Amino acid sequence: TQLEQALRNAIIANEVDVHFQPIVDLRNDAVVGFEALARWCDADLGYVSPAVFVPLAEERGFIESLAETLLRKAAHAALSWPKELFLSFNLSSAQLMDPATSSRLLTIINQIGLDPRRLELEITETAVMADAETAQKIVTELRAAGVRVSLDDFGTGQSSLGRLRDFSFDKVKIDRAFVSRISVDRASEHIIKAIVSMCEGLELQVVAEGIEDFSEALKLKALGCGMGQGYFYGKPADAVATMRYLSDRY
Ligand code: G
Ligand code: G
Ligand code: MN
Ligand code: NA
């Protein structure tokens, strides 16, 4: 298709970009890391969402080359940041089904010189479930190299608490569906409180996603959530704007 060809060309031409959204320590609002988010604007097709082109690349079998371009750009940017903040990178389900993924990712950051302890990989429960055995193997290899792994969109999809016991993660990202309802219904507040308490027991870090205003930030702090992310702290921005954001602070 036209979209597929345009995407293949954009990857080769290095035109798929990566933006960065800050993740903060909720106790003091200090930036602790950034999530890398793929962005692509085609000359003819205009802006195409990663929710469209990532699955397309997976289906058509070129997710590896897309992921490699993105990780290269993201890791390069992270090297130039004024502090050793972590870089959080999303893994797709096809990558979690490919046993070569761990060595591929480690080779890339090793070539670029990014310390694996600064890399964090976001995976979803849905992606893990597609091939739990392979996913487990990949995660184990990455964690052995010092890379941290977070469970993204927690609380949505086919969540299983058993997954938290059987799988070794470092961090849980609470889906913004809960955060966006925290001011309007008590149920979301109770659910977040329960997730935070469970994660404390399991020694997992917690990030609340999609914080859009001050009152949500206050509530999450009060609930003991350690980290936050969302438009209130910063929208995803390109590498140059991200450097500016950081130099204003550090
Ligand atoms: O940034 P935005 O809200 O448009 O992202 C839409 C979806 O695309 C989200 O689910 C996000 O996790 C996913 N996404 C964004 N960038 C990447 C990426 O680099 N790799 C993968 N696998 N998914 C991404
Ligand atoms: O699936 P994942 O959690 O990786 O998706 C992250 C996406 O959520 C990013 O692409 C980003 O554009 C979007 N996002 C980040 N912060 C906010 C926010 O505060 N509000 C909304 N509506 N979307 C957000
Ligand atoms: Mn994510
Ligand atoms: Na998420």
pTM as predicted: 0.97
d(CA 128, CA 114): 26
The CATH number of the structural domain formed by 21-36+63-249 is 3.20.20.450
pLDDT tens per residue, the chain (250 residues)?
Answer: 899 999 999 999 999 999 999 999 999 999 999 999 999 999 999 999 999 999 999 999 999 999 999 999 999 999 999 999 999 999 999 999 999 999 999 999 999 999 999 999 999 988 988 899 999 999 999 999 999 999 999 988 776 787 788 888 999 999 999 999 998 889 999 999 999 999 999 999 999 999 999 999 999 999 999 999 999 999 999 999 999 999 988 8
Q: Which residue has the tokens 């027991």?
A: 201
Whole-number Å distance, alpha carbon 175 to ligand 4 midpoint, is: 5
Q: Which uninterrupted H or E stretch holds 40?
A: strand 31-42
Q: Nearest residue CA, atom 15 of ligand 1? A: 37
Whole-number Å distance, alpha carbon 24 to ligand 4 midpoint, is: 15
Q: Nearest residue CA, atom 2 of ligand 1? A: 50
d(CA 125, CA 53): 20
Helices (H), the chain: 2-12, 50-59, 63-80, 93-96, 101-112, 125-130, 132-144, 161-166, 176-179, 186-201, 214-222, 239-249
* ipTM over the 0.85 cut-off: yes
Domains of the chain: which residue ranges?
Answer: 21-36+63-249
Whole-number Å distance, alpha carbon 2 to ligand 3 midpoint, is: 28
| Angle at alpha carbon of residue 36, lines to 141 and 119, rounded to 5° | 30
